Each structure stands twice: as C-alpha cells, then as structure tokens.
C-alpha cells in the first residue's frame, strides 16, 4: 500500500502536468504522512540531496558550455571540420557530424550542440541544396555524441544519482569509445543517405587550410584536454576541473576569440543559472523519493522479481534497454537518469554488469529519447531551427535511429567498448 | 505534440524572456542572485586549486561555502523556473485536456509548486532555527544557513506560483 501511495501520487501528478520535481516531492510528502514519519524529513533529505560536492560540477560545466556557446567557438570548429571532411559526398552532412563531436567535447551538451552547430550549419545546408529533413536529422543524431564525451554533465548526473561512488573520470573515459562509434555510425548513415539522394561533393581545401583552421580552433579544443587530462593526471578533481573549465572558457572567449562582450557574458550567466537551478532541483527533489525507495527496500524487491523471470546480464540489459527506450520517449533526460538509476543500477550490478557500462547504456537510451517524440527536446530544437514539422523529420529519420540502435546494441553486448579505456587509463 | 519547455541538457530561449507580471522585477533580481552565486562558486572552486598548488595551503573553508552557493543557485534558479514554467514536465496530459481544462491543470500545477514552496519555507525555517547554533565543519558558518535558501526559495516558489495563477486568470 505504501508503494501505491508513493508511485500512485507521483504518476497521477505527472500525468496531470505537474512538474517532475514537484511530483516527486509531493509523492514523497504524501508517503511520509502515510507512514507517520515526520514531514521535516522532506526538507532534511531534499537539502541532503544537494550536499554532494560532485553536484557542484554540473552547474559549472553548464556555465562553461554557455560561455563557449555565446563566445564564438562553434564557427571555428565548423571551419575546421569543413576543411577535414567537407570534400566527402554530402560533405556538409559530414562537417555537421564532426562539428558536433568537436563542440560536444567543449560543451558536453546535446542541446548546446544542436543550437550552436545546427544554428550555423542547417541554414547553410539548405542554401546549398540539401533537403531540410536531411539537414535536421543529421544534426540531431550527431548532437547525441555530446552526451557521451567529457565534459558531459549527464554523466556527472548519473554518478550523483548512483550515490556519487562512481568515478567521474572513469565515466568520462567509458563514454569515449561509444561516442566515437556513434559518430562513425552517423557519418556512414549520412554518407549512404547523401549518395541515395545524389548530394554533391566539394573540393579539398588543401593541407595548409586545414592547418590554419586547426590553429584557430585549437584554443577551444584544448579545453577537453585540460579537463580530461587534469582529472586523469590527478592535478584536480572533477569539480575543480569544472571551475577551471569556466575560467578557461572565459579566457578563450574574451582574450583569444574576443567574442564574449558584456551582453553575451550576462546572457550566458543568466541562462546557466536558470538551467542549473532547474536541473539541480530535480536532483535535490528526487532525494527524498530515493530515500523512501531505499527505506521501502524497492531496489531489492525489483532485483528479486527480475531474478525470477530472467537470467544472465544480457537478457537483463536488453529488457532494460526496452524499458528505458520507452520511458525515454516520454521523459526528459535528467528525470529519467535521476529516477531510473536507483532502481535499475542495483539490478544491473546484481547481475555483474559494471556501473560504467550501465551508465553509458542509460545515457544512450535516454539520448535516443531526446530525438524521439512525443518528448524529445533535441528533436524540437532541431526542427525549429530547420523550420520543418516533427512529422517531416520523422518520415526520414529511421536510418539515423538504426545507427543509434546499432551502437546501443554493440555497447550492450560488448562491455569492453565502455570498459577498456577506463581500465587502460588506470 | 507534447513538449517540454526545458531540457536536461538545455539552453533556455536566447533572450530568456521574463513573463510580464507584478513580480517581474523580483524574478530578475532572483535570477541575478542565482547567477552571482554560480559565478562565486566557480571562483571558490578555482581558489581551492590555486591555494593548493600556488599557496601550498589548502583552504578548508571552500567546500562548505561552495555547498551553500550551490544551494543558493539551486533554489533561486528553480524559483525563477516556477515563474517561467520551465521545469521538466510531462505535457501530454495538459495538451490533451483542451484549452479550458488545460488552463486549470496548469494552474493546479502552479499551486502544487506553491504548496511545496510553503512546505520548504515553513519546515526549512524551523530546521534553520534548530541548526543555527551548530557550526559547519571547516568554516565559520552556521549549519542553519544551509536551510536559508530553502526558506527564501520556498517563499519565492509560493509567491511566483500565486502570481502566475492570478495573472493568468486576469489575462
């Protein structure tokens, strides 16, 4: 009955359109009352939910990403990508994918990727004769790469949702090979679709042009090495690396690129604070809900129930993939990570799955949800930039879904893809 | 088609428009406080690195201060999210309900946010008073201060939610 109160109130409020964080808090409050526990547990646990120092990295990486977004780095990364792969058939599609990887490496955000890269490249692609649906679908599929590469704040969110015991440096390393696989998979798909549609090629600008553009993009690109190298070398913690990323982004965008004037700085600060507040509130609000799940021994019950119907980690992971994909189409990324991690991670680890591999699988599933209706924020931004309806995008997106699913299956069946690099770095 | 006004991974609209209403100025100040706390958070964490490597004197006060700044960013940013109605939500139900019931459901969601805000403010205040004499580890800060963002933020949740309900019904 207690579980019915917890999940019943939560589901009811969610369906009625009450914000996820408020639904979590209200369901927890109702359950505390039902159990006769003091209601101030709600404030104590919600406050404790924001007491983890790991969480500090999330707003700081969001802040650094906003500074990069408003500070003119995307143009330089696009120029570099264009000189590297622009001459391949359907070249702007390839430029788009590579630019998303490069920008993802400095922003760690799929929405920032689709806003910055899509905002610049989708109109160019349309102007040069590419179909709008192709331009949008390539961009939104490629933007998902940002979720898996450092400094992805969603990987940090997963670490926090898992109780903070999973090394962020290991998670960053675990996402790199799957991210490169996803990039390659989207590039091949973009190439095949471009051939079928008869898109043209452009001339290779020459090694000198590549070198010049590389030098121009280098200060921004170095950020990923500062973050990843700094953490790996033990120079600073993940949280400190996020602060260094903010100062580095500020220095590059103001002193080197000279694009971040006061107005852009102010906008970046306000957007970052707003976004950070909303994401942190879901995390914090989920704390009492998570505390009640543990108090009611829900993860143990779920493990026992799944043990009764399935055997072997691969069956479990495939089952979880199906559930997460379905949930991902309806829920946004942060709530999905926050709500599903405490329930599914104990199940995965009980079957011998590494928390690193599960984290990558969770992020990939939730990422595919970001480009799938009815709730897909990356899809919404991409179609808004490309000025097409969601139905238009959906009609021709299926090769890109296949590319994403192929990577998801590979990562699920081959743990080494996400575990090899963290082990190699240790 | 359902939509979420905000995303995990997200950047709010380019100009971050503040909806019109009597508390627009208060919302702007609240977001400015959240942004200032975020900026200070970056500086505090950077100082931690500087103190360790350059001054060779690790600063013990940085962690408790950083956690306080985190809570300020959280509650102030989230309070503005209540007014902007940009919190993650599952919008299908509201959209399927049609304009009239959709408006009512949206108002109910705002009132729920306001009610939770009052819970934060009320119980947060009693916890703050109880914890005030206790010093936080590592800094000359009262532990009660950690509940202050919940008191102020909770009150702002309630004010902003009420404003949106009344202002909308007056549209």
Residue A204 has pLDDT above 70, yes or no: yes
Q: Min CA distance, B14 vs chain A (Å)?
A: 8
- Please return the burial class of B24, using the count of CB atoms within 10 Å of its CB with bins 0-12, 13-18 and 19+: middle
Name every chain A residue with its beta carbon within 8 A of the beta carbon of B94. Answer: 16-17
Q: Give mean pLDDT, residues A175-197.
A: 95
- The ipTM value here is 0.89
Q: Give mean pLDDT, residues B93-115.
A: 88
Q: Do A39 and B38 touch (CB under 8 A)?
A: no
B121 and chain A: CB distance < 8 Å anywhere?
Answer: no
| Pairwise CA distance, residues A216 & A359, whole Å | 34
pLDDT score, position B170: 45
Is the Cβ–Cβ distance between A152 and A110 less than 8 Å? Answer: no
DSSP string, A334-401: HHHHHHHHHHHHHHHHHTT--HHHHHHHHHHHHHHHHTSSSS-HHHHHHHHHHT--HHHHHHT-HHHH
pLDDT score, position B171: 43
Q: Give mean pLDDT, residues A37-46.
A: 90
DSSP string, chain B: ----SS-TT----TT-PPPPSTTHHHHHHHHHHHHHHHHHHHHHHHHHHHHHHTSS---SSHHHHHHHHHHHHHHHHHHHHHHHT-S----HHHHHTHHHHHHHHHHHHHHHHHHHHHHHHHHHHHHHHHHTTSBPTTSS-BGGGGGHHHHHHHHHHHHHHHHHHHHHHT-
B9 and chain A: CB distance < 8 Å anywhere?
Answer: yes
Cis ω before A261 (30° cut-off from 0): no
Give the per-residue SS3 of A2-26. Answer: HHHHHHHHHHHHHHCCCCHHHHHHH
pLDDT score, position A176: 95
Question: Nearest Cβ partner of B74 from A50, A112, A236?
Answer: A50
Question: What does chain A come to in residues?
Answer: 426
Q: Judged by CB atoms within 8 Å, which residues 383-412 of A form the interface with B? A: 390
Residues in CB range of A253: below 8 A, 6 or more apart: A67, A68, A70, A71, A72, A73, A259, A260
Q: Which among B159, B158, B124 has a CA at the least distance from the CA of B144?
A: B124
| Pairwise CA distance, residues A320 & A322, whole Å | 5
A341 and chain B: CB distance < 8 Å anywhere?
Answer: no
pLDDT score, position B71: 96
B137 and chain A: CB distance < 8 Å anywhere?
Answer: no
Highest mean pLDDT: which of A10-24, A117-131, A175-189, A192-206? A175-189
Q: Judged by CB atoms within 8 Å, which residues 67-86 of B form the interface with A? A: 67, 70-71, 73-81, 84, 86
pTM of the model: 0.83
Q: Judged by CB atoms within 8 Å, which residues 64-83 of A form the interface with B? A: 66, 69
Residue B39 has pLDDT above 70, yes or no: yes
Q: Min CA distance, A330 vs chain B (Å)?
A: 7
Window from A296-300, A340-344, B12-16, B148-152 with minimum mean pLDDT: B12-16
Question: Nearest Cβ partner of A333 from B8, B90, B112?
Answer: B8
| Pairwise CA distance, residues A249 & A416, whole Å | 33
Q: What percent of chain A has pLDDT over 90?
A: 38
Q: Do A280 and B77 touch (CB under 8 A)?
A: yes
Find the helix packing angle between B24-53 and A262-295, rounded to 10°. Answer: 90
Q: Judged by CB atoms within 8 Å, which residues 17-76 of B form the interface with A? A: 31-32, 34-35, 37-39, 41-46, 48-49, 63, 66-67, 70-71, 73-76
Count CB atoms within 10 A of the CB of residue A275: 29
Residue B6 has pLDDT above 50, yes or no: no
pLDDT score, position B82: 95
Mean pLDDT score of chain A, rounded to an integer? Answer: 88
Question: Is pLDDT larger for residue B45 or for residue A61?
Answer: B45
Give the C-alpha distances (Å, rounded to integers) separating B36 from A261, A273, B1, B70.
Answer: 17, 9, 36, 11
- Please return the burial class of B97, using the count of CB atoms within 10 Å of its CB with bins 0-12, 13-18 and 19+: middle
Give the C-alpha distances (Å, rounded to integers) separating B115 from A137, B126, B170.
Answer: 42, 17, 21
Closest chain A residue by Cα to residue B101: A16
Question: Nearest Cβ partner of B49 from A18, A244, A330?
Answer: A244
Q: Which among B78, B85, B74 has a CA at the least distance from the CA of B21?
A: B85
Name every chain B residue with its beta carbon within 8 A of the beta carbon of A51. Answer: 67, 146
Q: Which among A55, A168, A66 has a CA at the least distance from the CA of A107?
A: A66
Q: Do B66 and A242 touch (CB under 8 A)?
A: no
Residue A189 has pLDDT above 50, yes or no: yes
| Pairwise CA distance, residues A112 & A298, whole Å | 36
Question: Nearest Cβ partner of B73 from A14, A59, A66?
Answer: A59
The sign of the CA dihedral A314, A316, A322, A324 is negative
Q: Give mean pLDDT, residues A331-346.
A: 86
Question: Nearest Cβ partner of B81 from A43, A277, A378?
Answer: A277
Q: Min CA distance, B46 vs chain A (Å)?
A: 6
Q: Encoding tokens for residue B74?
A: 């959280």
Supply the DSSP symbol for A145.
Answer: G
| Pairwise CA distance, residues A137 & A268, whole Å | 27
Mean pLDDT score of chain B, rounded to an integer? Answer: 86
Angle (CA) A120-A122-A124 rounded to 5° is: 75
- The pLDDT-based confidence of B168 (bands split at 50, 70, 90) is low
| Pairwise CA distance, residues B142 & B132, whole Å | 5
Q: Do A20 and B88 touch (CB under 8 A)?
A: yes
Q: Min CA distance, A105 vs chain B (Å)?
A: 14
- The pLDDT-based confidence of B7 (bands split at 50, 70, 90) is very low
A257 and chain B: CB distance < 8 Å anywhere?
Answer: no
Is the Cβ–Cβ distance between A41 and A63 less than 8 Å? Answer: no
Highest mean pLDDT: which of A46-55, A256-265, A356-365, B81-90? A356-365
B2 and chain A: CB distance < 8 Å anywhere?
Answer: yes
Q: Do B94 and A63 touch (CB under 8 A)?
A: no
Count CB atoms within 10 A of the CB of residue A5: 17
Highest mean pLDDT: which of A15-19, A405-409, B96-100? A405-409
Q: Min CA distance, B87 vs chain A (Å)?
A: 6
Name every chain A residue with its beta carbon within 8 A of the beta carbon of B141. Answer: none
Residue B8 has pLDDT above 60, yes or no: no
B7 and chain A: CB distance < 8 Å anywhere?
Answer: yes
């Amino acid at each position: 009955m207690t579980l019915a109160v917890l999940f019943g109130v939560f589901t009811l409020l969610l369906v009625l359109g009450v914000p996820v964080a408020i639904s979590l808090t209200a369901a927890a409050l109702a359950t505390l009352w039902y159990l006769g526990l003091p209601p101030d547990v709600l404030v104590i646990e919600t406050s404790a939910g924001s007491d983890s120092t790991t969480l500090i990295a999330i707003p700081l990486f969001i802040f650094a990403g906003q500074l990069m977004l408003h500070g003119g780095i995307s143009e330089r990364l696009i120029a570099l990508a264009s000189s590297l792969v622009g001459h391949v058939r359907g070249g702007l599609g390839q430029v788009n994918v590579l630019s998303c990887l490069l920008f993802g490496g400095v922003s760690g955000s799929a929405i920032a990727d689709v806003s910055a890269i899509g905002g610049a490249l989708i109109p160019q692609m349309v102007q040069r004769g590419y179909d709008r649906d192709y331009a949008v679908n390539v961009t939104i599929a490629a933007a998902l790469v940002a979720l898996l590469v450092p400094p992805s704040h969603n990987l940090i969110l997963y670490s926090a949702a898992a109780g903070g015991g999973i090394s962020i440096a290991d998670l960053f390393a675990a996402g790199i090979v799957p991210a490169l696989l996803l990039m390659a998979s989207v590039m091949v798909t973009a190439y095949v679709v471009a051939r079928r549609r008869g898109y043209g090629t452009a001339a290779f600008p020459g090694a000198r042009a590549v070198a010049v553009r590389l030098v121009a993009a280098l200060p921004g690109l170095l950020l990923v090495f500062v973050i990843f190298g700094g953490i790996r070398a033990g120079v600073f913690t993940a949280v400190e690396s996020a602060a260094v990323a903010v100062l580095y982004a500020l220095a590059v965008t103001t002193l080197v690129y000279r694009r971040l004037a006061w107005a852009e700085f102010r906008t970046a600060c306000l957007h970052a604070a707003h976004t950070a507040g909303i994401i942190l509130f879901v995390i914090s609000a989920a704390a009492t809900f998570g505390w009640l799940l543990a108090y009611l021994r829900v993860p143990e019950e779920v493990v026992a129930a799944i043990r009764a119907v399935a055997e072997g980690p691969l069956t479990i992971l495939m089952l979880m993939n199906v559930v997460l994909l379905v949930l991902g189409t309806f829920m946004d990324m942060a709530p999905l990570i926050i709500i599903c991690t405490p329930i599914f991670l104990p199940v995965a680890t009980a079957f011998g799955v590494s928390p690193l591999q599960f984290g990558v699988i969770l992020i990939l599933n939730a990422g595919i949800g970001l480009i799938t209706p009815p709730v897909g924020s990356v899809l919404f931004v991409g179609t808004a930039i490309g000025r097409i309806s969601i139905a238009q995008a959906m009609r021709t997106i299926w090769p890109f879904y296949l590319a994403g699913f192929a990577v998801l299956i590979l990562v699920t069946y081959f743990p080494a893809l996400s575990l090899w690099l963290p082990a190699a770095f240790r | 088609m359902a939509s979420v006004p905000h995303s995990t991974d997200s950047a709010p609209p380019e100009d971050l428009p503040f909806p019109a209403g009597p508390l627009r100025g208060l919302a702007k100040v609240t977001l400015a406080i959240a942004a200032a706390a975020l900026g200070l958070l970056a500086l505090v964490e950077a100082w931690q690195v500087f103190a360790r490597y350059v001054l060779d004197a690790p600063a013990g006060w940085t962690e408790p201060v950083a956690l306080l700044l985190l809570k300020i960013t959280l509650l102030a940013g989230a309070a503005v999210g209540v007014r902007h109605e940009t919190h993650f939500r599952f919008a299908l139900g509201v959209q399927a309900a049609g304009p009239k019931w959709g408006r009512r459901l949206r108002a109910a969601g705002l009132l729920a946010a306001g009610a939770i805000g009052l819970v934060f403010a009320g119980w947060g205040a009693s916890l703050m008073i109880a914890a005030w004499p206790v010093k936080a580890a590592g800094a000359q800060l009262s532990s009660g201060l950690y509940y202050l963002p919940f008191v102020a933020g909770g009150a702002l949740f309630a004010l902003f939610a009420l404003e949106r309900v009344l202002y909308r019904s007056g549209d």
